Every structure is written in C-alpha cells, then in structure tokens.
Amino acid sequence: MILGMAASNDKQTTDQYSPDQYLAFIASEMTIPGTDAVQIGNTVFIGHKGKGKNKRKMVGRAFNVDTGRNFILNGFKYFTYLQKRKITHYMTTFRTPVFLNAFKLFDRRAQQQNSDTLFSIGKVKGTDEYVVYIHLGKKPLMGPLLRNR
C-alpha cells in the first residue's frame, strides 16, 4: 500500500511512467537477490548490500507517505537498523527537496549530539538530483539523537 501511494505521488516519476509501470519496476527491484526491504512507520526503505569487501556498504532509497516529522523519526530508526546490521556506509540519490531538508536535519542533529556518524550531501552537477553518503558510526543513533524530542 505504501509503495502504491508513493508511486502515485512521485510527480517526477509519473511524468515518465504510469504508477502501474513504476510499481512494476519496484516489484522487479525487490526480487533482486540480497535486496533488503523494511517498513518503518509509513516509510518503506529498500537497500542493496555490496558483496565481498563491500559487504558493509549499502545503496538504497525510501518511499515515504508519512509526515515530515515522522519521516525524520523513521529515518533515524532506519539508520539504527543499519547500524545493528553492521552496515558502515550508505548511499542514496533523490530529487525530492523534502528529502534534502530531511538529510540536512539528520546531519545537523548528528553534529549537535557529537555522533560519529557523518553525512555528506551534494548535488549532481547539471541535474536536479542530490546524492547523500553516510558513514554510519558505532555510537547508536536512536537514543542520543532523539532524546530531546
């Protein structure tokens, strides 16, 4: 249901594909061996782990139909989930400004709490796409980062 709603609401993708086509792409992606999909709140996170020397690295994306505040909470819970799975590096790309604001907030909160998790946020030159690299530290993110909420 979340994926269907997210597919219907993704204006940039529905300009190129129908929501049904987009859902078919997502369903196909989820059949790739080793795909990790987890729902936290009203956000579904899909990730792909590396192999061999890259087994602690993951590339992924989020499908969100939750409020902005809840997406932030869901994101911190997801990063904690990745830490527990011993993922050390995570990378995502997106075009949605809402996600950009969320990652800026993730980074700011991590810095305020002296977390050992580092965020690098950039824009892909000549596009409307953003890329985020996260080095997930060893200190748990959930407790310290959300204690003041």
- Domain ranges for the chain, please list them: 2-146
Pairwise CA distance, residues 49 & 57, whole Å: 6
Label residue 114 exposed, middle or buried (CB < 10 Å: 0-12, 13-18, 19+).
exposed
**Predicted model pTM:** 0.87
- Neighbouring residues of 114: CB distance < 8 A, sequence distance ≥ 6: none
Q: State the pLDDT at residue 69.
A: 87
Backbone Cα Rg of the chain: 15
Task: Tell me the pLDDT of the chain (149 aa) as tens digits.
Answer: 788 787 777 655 656 778 788 888 888 999 999 899 999 999 999 999 999 999 999 999 999 998 888 999 999 999 999 999 999 999 999 988 888 999 999 999 888 888 899 999 999 999 989 999 999 999 887 654 454 44
C-beta separation of 12 from 72 below 8 A: no
Q: State the pLDDT at residue 130.
A: 95
- Architecture category of domain 2-146 in CATH: 3-Layer(aba) Sandwich (3.40)
Looking at residue 141, what DSSP letter applies? S
What is the token pair recorded at 43?
């956000």
Pairwise CA distance, residues 44 & 41, whole Å: 8
